[in-house]
Amino acid sequence: MNGLSLLYSHLLLWQYFGTASAFHFNGELMMENWQKEYKKLEEKYYPITWEINHGEIEIRCKNGKLLPLNHKIYGIEESFIQDQIKDYDYYSGEICCI
**pLDDT of amino acid 14:** 45
Q: In the predicted model, what is the mean pLDDT of the chain? A: 81
Instruction: Note whether 29 and 19 are within 8 A (CB).
Output: no
Mean pLDDT score, 33-58: 94
Bigger pLDDT: 19 vs 91: 91
CA distances, 10 to each of 50, 56, 64 (Å): 38, 44, 41
The percentage of residues in the chain with a pLDDT greater than 90, rounded to a whole number, is 63
CA distances, 50 to each of 1, 26, 75, 77 (Å): 46, 42, 13, 10
Do 98 and 60 belong together in one domain? yes
**pLDDT of amino acid 17:** 52
Do 50 and 17 belong together in one domain? no
pLDDT > 80? residue 5: no
Do 23 and 58 belong together in one domain? no
Do 56 and 16 belong together in one domain? no
Radius of gyration of the chain (CA): 18
pLDDT > 60? residue 1: no
User: What is the domain extent for residue 79?
Assistant: 32-98
Do 54 and 94 belong together in one domain? yes
pLDDT in tens, 13-35: 445 555 545 555 555 566 788 89
